[in-house]
Structure 1
Amino acid sequence: MPQKNNFHFSISERKIYLRVLDVAFMVSGLYLLSLYFNFEYFNFKSPSVVTWLVVLVVYYYFFGEIFELFRLKTASDHYLSLRSLVLTISFTALIFVFTPKVSPVLPTNRLQIVYFTFTIFGAVVLNRLFYIQFIFSPRFLKNFLLIGNDGAIASLLEKVEQYESNRFVGYVSNTALKNHPDKQFFAVENVNIEELVVKLGINEIVICSTINDFNNKNINAQLITLFEKGVNIKSVDSFLETETFKISENQLVANFYNYFSFSKSHQNNLYLAFRRLLDIFFSLIGICYLLFLIPIVFLLNLISNKGSLFYVQNRVGQKGNEFKIIKFRTMVSNAEENGAVWSKKGDVRITPFGRILRKTRIDEVPQFINVLKGEMSLIGPRPERPEFVKKLEQQIPYYALRHVVKPGLTGWAQVMHPYASSVKDQQEKLWFDLYYIKERNLILDLKIVIKTISTVLFFRGT
């Protein structure tokens, strides 16, 4: 079936484009430099050139993830791109140059290193400018058609319309939306969806509510025909997960088990054993780091954070079991004399030095002891206090589901929605936690680790 504006880049395709073309431009730039100039550091005639390229790409991808170079929001902004690119290229070049055996031998003329660094930097800048100018252009965005009742469509638009990779051009519903005059409305009665797909250049259809809500078998029949012709059709829940990386609250209904499933990793003994080995290994390293930090934090505490060095608090762990979490104290000593209260932005109870500890996440380092004891893991939902858990379980349905896995030193909700000072914020974090529980795997674990490093480096702690 012919469609207008059939050429577009989805979110995943844009991310692949950024990674692949960055490397292609880098390699091309280095090759041209060695071909037309007296550049001997990166010799493409060397039998080790493949090894060099692989190491360079691995470093570039690693530091690119840490400094958020491949985030679409970063890639579409000149300033953010430049900032991330400078940091990524600087660290990539520095580590690559001083990596023994798997990188070229250091040249006697140190200017060769400067040429190398500026060449890969200029090559990637050229690709990013091309991306912003052409690939990020609205003509390459996906066109979406929404089908559902007015309430469901309005709810979806409120949640995801800020994502710049989406363009919701029209909707089929029972009633026109007053707050969205820029979206074309088509009444459900006698609508020809196939004609709309061609006319509006629709790339994807999102079903926002069940067809039964319309009591219209005609809509269902048309969707089946379009599906047979290769039109991409998604449910609203699937669409929201893809766009927001959290589960849709629509899945948490009375019969939630029909819609929400746990990752198979929960029953994979190899995965669980590997995770535990990593927990032990990194917690031992973390405890060594803790021993190094203790005298420094102790001395600074004497100056601007007078009181006890550590803070021990009850938290709820896996299967609802309580344990005592250990942290560096960041608040005044009598912070909760009137009872347990959520920490909030600009909380006056946090001392100036405590704020630094929180921003850098240093206050969390003592929790490596909890990880070594097996009460926590490196990655998982953040453990909450029993007083808050009791309240949240009463106000947020299915909040207890997050206790199916061990709590973590860091987690998906922690890096995606790091700030929570209300029941509404906790509910938002729950959707991220449950997404992790649903999709849990080593790749997602690695992604959380990298995002955590980014959070620390950019001081996004609470």
Structure 2
Amino acid sequence: MIRIFRHYISSAFLWLLILEAFVFYFSMYLGSQLRFLYEASWYSESDIIAASLVFVVVVTLCNISLGLYRRNLGTHDYDLLARVSFSFGISIAAVVSIYYIFPEFLIARSVLGAAVIIAFLGMMIIRYFFYRYAKIERIKKQVLVVGSGKKAVELVTLNDSYIHKTFNITGFLALPDEQVLVDKSLLINSDTSLCETCQKLNIDEIVLAIDDRRRSMPISTLLDCKMSGLDIIDLVTFYEREQGLISLNNVYPSWFLFSDGFAVSGFRSLTKRVFDIVMSVVLLAVSWPFMLMTIIAIKLEDGIQAPFFYKQVRVGENNQHFKVIKFRSMVVNAEKNGAQWAKLRDNRITRVGAFIRKVRIDELPQIFNVLTGDMSFVGPRPERPEFVDGFIERIDYYAERHRVKPGITGWAQICYPYGASEEDTVRKLEYDLYYVKNYSMFLDMSIILHTIEIVLWGKGAR
């Protein structure tokens, strides 16, 4: 894992992206060579370079948007052939549209067709070797865990659902009088010094996973390891790096005081506001036909007098209340008995509402909330004050998610399925706190691209 603008990304998938981008770029050259194998080419070198650059940018962005470089995409969600095929289908449509709008980039259909076939085959071959390579144990970070209780056990299966596993737990060091819950065969021999053991086992990193923080840690032993060149990391930072969240089970007040991030500046607010306005105008220009069709569909289902917008009070930045605007997806009197969670197969949802929720069209009117400044394009999803008051009382650090403007989409939305319980709220808060801590324009752009995956795959809709 490497950190770019405070956001952790997988170095393996970054190299995969770079390698595949080279394949996409040179596929246009090969396509041109095949097309003009027996005759003089119609295109100059600069024409092929321009066409190749357009092709590589479009295909790479489509692959990112379909989650093909997202490490935390679980194996149960990962249908490689379907995702790649869908991505290439969108890419072809986008490239053809660019050629139509900007004729200077136009390339022959035969050249484009050959380039697509070469790029597709090249990508599938690279992926085959990548997944074989990713399973090799010796290339993973070798981790030794200090602790053998509940928190240590949780690390054993932490990244089992990921396609590329970044670390391997080589052993556990049990502290005196600590309950041992891990596999006893993985306990290291305490007869030799910890530093020597780490050298023998080729340990790259030591993770502190101690259930009782009041228990004395082997400070001198850990210091010896640190001064010998080993990385030592606490559990909160480990979860932040490996799962992109702030683990509430392991966080403590002083961590917030001394950790990096959580920076708020006037320049950051200005750039985010400019970005929000530009993105909102662009999205409004693209989506207004879909919004108009949605209005017509709601009217046809519920009658001409039925409202098509639904306004609801939500909690925004600094706990300020505002009215969020959405397309109405439930019956008119859906909450006559008071506020309640949306349930799976909720009978209050209309037929039109079920569709617009699935493809997230119901969220589009929130563009107007962004334009007025109540919301941002990216941020924690705004919650209702009826729920927020209780969450603040029962969930530690819940109020901290209101340090930034709420968003149409967010880090929690692409990392966690739809939440309909207080337990889900706690899990999503962990992702929201990661966003608040590590915000950057780079992270915002990453979230926006991955939101396309959520829309296309219908993930998390209810």
TM > 0.5: yes
Is 1:299 the equivalent of 2:300? no
- Distance in 1 (CA, whole Å) between partners of 2:44 and 2:21 is 19
Task: Identify if the C-alpha distance between structure 1 residues 399 and 72 changes in structure 2 by more than 3 Å, giving closer, same or farther.
Answer: closer
Counterpart Cα distance in 2 of 1:56 and 1:221: 56
Change over 3 Å in CA distance of 1:212–1:424 after alignment to 2: closer
Output one character per residue of 1:329-349: Cα deviation in whole Å (capped at 9) or x when no partner: 111222222211111322222
Output the CA distance in 2 between the equivalents of 1:98 and 1:252.
Answer: 49
Distance 1:226 1:386 in 2: 49
Q: Which runs of 5+ in 2 are unaligned?
A: 1-7
Find the counterpart in structure 2 of residue 200 from structure 1. Answer: 201
Residues 20-419 of structure 1 aligned to structure 2 (within 5 Å)? 20-27=18-25, 29-31=27-29, 38=36, 46-72=45-71, 80-100=79-99, 104-107=105-108, 110-148=109-147, 150-157=149-156, 159-163=158-162, 165=165, 166-174=167-175, 175=178, 177-178=180-181, 180-181=182-183, 184-186=186-188, 190-209=191-210, 213-215=214-216, 219-249=218-248, 252-255=251-254, 257-260=256-259, 262-264=261-263, 266-267=264-265, 269-287=266-284, 292-305=289-302, 307-419=306-418
RMSD: 3.2
The 2-side partners of 1:295 and 1:49 are apart by: 41
Q: Which runs of 5+ in 1 are unaligned?
A: 1-9
Question: Measured at CA, do residues 79 and 342 of structure 1 come closer, stay the same or move farther in structure 2, by a change above 3 Å?
Answer: closer
TM-score (norm 1): 0.85
CA distance change for structure 1 residues 323 and 33 in 2, over 3 Å: closer, same or farther? closer
1:443 alignment partner AA: F
1:134-162 per-residue CA deviation (whole Å, 9 max, x = no partner) reads 33334433322111252331344465554
Work out which structure has the larger RCO, using CA pairs closer than 8 Å and 6 or more positions apart in sequence: 2
Q: Deviations over 1:220-260 (max 9, x none)?
A: 33333333333232221111001111112256534454245
Amino acid at match of 1:299: I
- How far off its partner does 1:433 sit? 0.9
CA contact (8 A) 1:43 1:49 kept: no
- 8 Å CA contact retained: 1:252, 1:260: no
Give the Cα separation in 2 of the matches to 1:454 and 1:161. 22
Q: CA offset at residue 424 of structure 1?
A: 0.9
CA distance in 1, matches of 2:235, 2:64: 29
Verify the 8 A CA contact 1:172 1:185 in the aligned structure 2. yes
Equivalents in 2 of 1:52, 1:291: separation in Å?
A: 31
How many pairs does the alignment contain? 445
Partner secondary structure for residue 79 of structure 2:
helix
For residue 99 of structure 1, give the secondary structure of its aligned residue in structure 2: helix
Contact 2:299 2:308 in 1 (8 A): no
Q: Which amino acid aligns with 1:193?
A: L
- State the SS of the aligned residue for 2:340: coil
Return closer, same or farther for 1:42/1:117 CA change in 2, 3 Å cut-off.
farther
The corresponding residue for 1:429 is 428
Residue aligned with 1:186, SS? coil
**TM, length-normalised to structure 2:** 0.85
| Pair 51,36 (structure 1): closer, same or farther in 2 beyond 3 Å | closer
Deviation at 1:69, TM superposition (A): 1.5
Greater displacement, 368-377 / 221-230: 221-230
For residue 126 of structure 1, report the CA deviation from its aligned partner.
1.2
Q: Classify the secondary structure of the residue corresponding to 2:144.
A: strand
Q: Residue 335 and residue 75 in structure 1: after superposition, are their counterparts in 2 closer, same or farther (change >3 A)?
A: closer
Cα 1:37–1:452 shift into 2, 3 Å? closer
Q: Which moved more, 1:192-201 or 1:70-79?
A: 70-79
SS in 1 for 2:387: helix
Q: 1:450 to 1:11 in 2, by over 3 A?
A: closer
In structure 2, relative to structure 1, the CA distance for the partners of 1:328 and 1:32 (3 Å cut) is: closer
Query: Do the aligned partners of residues 192 and 28 (structure 1) sit closer, same or farther apart at CA in structure 2, a change above 3 Å counting?
Result: farther
Deviations 1:267-300 (A, max 9, x none): 1x33322222232233344455665345422332
Contact 1:310 1:327 in 2 (8 A): yes
Deviation at 1:414, TM superposition (A): 1.9
Shift of 1:30: 4.9
Other structure's SS at 2:431 match: helix
Give the fraction of aligned pairs with identical amino acids, expressed as a percent: 29
How far did residue 11 of structure 1 move?
A: 7.0
